[in-house]
């Protein structure tokens, strides 16, 4: 990536941070809370200390825009950049406007219904990145358990142990609900895509429903 593109990214987040105060607030109540989401726009106003990587392989070459992941420690953002200089923040936690533009530009509606699995994978890699390294789970068996070494790091504190027990109970309570991705077509030709993700950072199972069309 050239220094010019890095500068454009920094300027992009500078404008977002200055003109759109919602990017410095938690996500709307209709969305699940992400990982330190409200500090990302401010952090990525400067990209010199950040890692910027172009996404390659998989389905990325099929897209007309180039998709980049900008990361700094455990925080990251996903951007699409087009030849005309347009930059779209694909995992903006505050609103859907940029991602909706991305859906239109890349004609993602045409991926449905036959390429649903690829679209779900794309959604997880882009729109849902703010949740903290989400990954698709199709059954409770795919939800990773804490390793004994990880539990040891957490210690024997009573509050920590109570939290871990509550986590296990919650997972047991929804284990029969976790299923592979599904798609429903409505009468107007729109699509309702449903699936589950597990977030590596937050350690949560989240039910996701996306509407297209």
Q: What is the pLDDT of residue 118?
A: 96
Cβ contact 178:140 at 8 Å: yes
In the chain, what's the furthest Cα-to-Cα distance? 56
In this predicted model, what pLDDT tens digit does every residue of 66-106 receive, in sequence order?
A: 999 999 888 999 999 999 999 999 999 999 999 999 999 99
Q: How far is CA 91 from the centre of its chain?
A: 6
Residue tagged 């903290």 (tokens)? 132
Q: Which residues of the chain have pLDDT under 70?
A: 1-2, 48-49, 146-156, 160-161, 163-164, 173
Q: What is the pLDDT of residue 1?
A: 56
Mean pLDDT for all residues in the chain: 88
Q: How far is CA 176 from the centre of its chain?
A: 24
Q: What is the pLDDT of residue 155?
A: 61
In this predicted model, what pLDDT tens digit does every residue of 100-126 receive, in sequence order?
A: 999 999 999 999 999 999 999 999 999
Phi, psi angle pair for 205, to nearest 5°: -100, 125
CB-based contacts of 131: which residues, under 8 Å, 6+ apart?
32, 34, 35, 197, 199, 201, 202, 204, 206
72: its two tokens: 């700094």
For residues 205 and 131, what is the distance between their CA atoms, to the nearest angstrom?
11
Closest CA to 31 of 22, 39, 44: 22
């Amino acid at each position: 990536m050239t220094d010019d593109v890095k500068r454009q990214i920094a300027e992009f987040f500078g404008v977002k941070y200055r003109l759109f105060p919602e990017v410095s607030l938690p996500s709307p109540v209709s969305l699940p809370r992400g990982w330190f989401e409200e500090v990302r726009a401010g952090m990525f106003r400067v990209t010199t200390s950040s890692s910027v990587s172009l996404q390659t392989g998989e389905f990325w070459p099929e897209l007309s825009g180039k998709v980049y992941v900008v990361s700094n420690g455990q925080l990251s953002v996903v951007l699409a950049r087009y030849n005309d200089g347009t930059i779209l923040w694909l995992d903006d936690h505050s609103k859907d406007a940029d991602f909706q533009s991305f859906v239109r530009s890349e004609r993602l509606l045409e991926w449905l219904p036959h390429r649903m699995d690829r679209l779900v994978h794309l959604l997880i890699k882009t729109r849902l990145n703010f949740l903290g390294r989400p990954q698709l789970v199709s059954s409770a068996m795919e939800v990773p358990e804490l390793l004994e070494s990880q539990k040891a790091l957490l210690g024997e504190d009573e509050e920590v142990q109570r939290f871990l027990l509550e986590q296990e109970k919650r997972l047991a309570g929804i284990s029969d609900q976790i299923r592979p991705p599904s798609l429903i077509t409505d009468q107007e030709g729109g699509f309702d895509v449903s699936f589950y993700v597990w977030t590596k950072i937050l350690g949560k199972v989240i039910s996701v429903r996306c509407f297209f069309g």
